[in-house]
Amino acid sequence: ASAIDTIGHVEQFLALHLKGQRTALADAPRCRVFLTGENRWEELDRWPHPQAVVSPWYLASNGDARGLRGSGQLIGDSGRGEGSDTFVHDPNQPSRDMSNLAMFAWADPPLDCRYLQRRDDTLVYTSLPLRRPLFVSGRYRLWLFVSSDRPDTDLYVTLSDVHPDGRAITLAATNEPPAGLRLRYRQGPQP
pLDDT tens-digit map of 50-83 = 888 888 889 999 999 999 999 999 998 666 767 7
Q: Find out whether 40 and 63 touch, Cβ atoms under 8 Å.
A: no
Question: What does DSSP assign to residue 114?
Answer: H
- pLDDT band for 178, please (50, 70, 90 cuts): very low
Q: How many residues does the chain have?
A: 191
Q: Find out whether 116 and 97 touch, Cβ atoms under 8 Å.
A: yes
More confident residue, 85 or 77: 85
Angle at alpha carbon of residue 159, lines to 52 and 135, rounded to 5°: 25
Mean pLDDT of 154-158: 83
Angle at alpha carbon of residue 175, lines to 15 and 45, rounded to 5°: 45
Q: Find out whether 142 and 107 touch, Cβ atoms under 8 Å.
A: no
